[in-house]
Amino acid sequence: MSTEKEPLFSPKNLKLLSEPLGQSNPITIQVLGICSALAVTVKLKPSIVLAISVMVVMAVSNVVISLLRKSVPPRIRIIVQLVVIASMVILVDQVLKAYAYDVSKQLSVFVGLIITNCIIMGRLEAFALGNKPWPSFLDGLGNAAGYGWILIAVAFFRELLGSGTLLDIQVIPQSFYEAGYVNNGMMILPPMALVVVGIIIWIQRARNKSLVED
């Protein structure tokens, strides 16, 4: 067999990593994983924690499913995928409870909801079932990063405009408040997360005409 060994970071593999950041972003283009994403974006810190958790769960479960892809009968693959994801999420949840208890309380049910996060199921179905472990790992990492940066961008604006802080450190100078500046309380409310994502989609599609729907 004359299999040329592909270099670990061949252009094709790098594309797996970079494409989900823009061209095929899971949130703004593929419309996956919005469920658990928006509610945690009131503050920057829980969003970063959730983004990292999703990245871990996604990369590892992509690799595991990719390793199992030949031995799992197609009929029961959804259950197998759910079990793999669920066990990863349990691990992440236990680690968070042990080392970052207050964040884990803030995230409440949303750590558990990583299980039904459609990005993870979607990538497992669409990619890991048909590819080798290493590209699957990169694909998981890339998609989780694409998901994470939207999450962090939304949280950045909501925390900055809604509470005048970033990572709980005040960034709007006190003199602004004395001059009559008021935090926009609207930004903290759940509906504004949707509007912010809507605006991000707007900007992205305005810059890249090929993404426009009709």
Partner 1 sequence: MENLVNIFVKSIFIDNMVFAYFLGMCSYLAVSKTVKTSTGLGIAVVFVLGFTVPINFLLEKFILKAGALTWISPSLADVDLSFLTFIMFIAVIASMVQLVEMVIEKFAPTLYNSLGIFLPLIAVNCAILGGSLFMQEREYANIGEATVFGLGSGVGFFLAIVGIAAIREKIKYSNIPAPLRGLGITFIITGLMGIAFMSFMGINL
Minimum Å gap between C-beta 188 and partner 1 is: 12
Sign of CA dihedral 178, 192, 24, 53: positive
Query: Residues for the chain: how many in total?
Result: 214
Nearest to partner 1 of 108, 170 (CB atom): 108
Nearest to partner 1 of 167, 199 (CB atom): 199
Minimum Å gap between C-beta 80 and partner 1 is: 11
Tokens of 153: 């961008």
Nearest to partner 1 of 86, 172 (CB atom): 86
Minimum Å gap between C-beta 90 and partner 1 is: 6
Tokens of 135: 């590209």
Rg (CA), the chain: 19
Residue 26's closest CA among 117, 108, 115?
117
Helix (H, G, I), strand (E, B) or coil at 169: strand
Chain position carrying tokens 């590209």 = 135
Rounded Cα distance, 156 and 134, in Å: 32
Nearest to partner 1 of 13, 183 (CB atom): 183
Nearest to partner 1 of 40, 138 (CB atom): 40
| Interface residues toward partner 1, by CB under 8 A | 28, 31-39, 78-79, 82-83, 86-87, 89-90, 93-94, 108-109, 112-113, 115-118, 121, 189-195, 197-199, 201-206, 209, 211-214
Residue 152's closest CA among 70, 46, 16, 59?
46
Minimum Å gap between C-beta 124 and partner 1 is: 11
Minimum Å gap between C-beta 19 and partner 1 is: 18
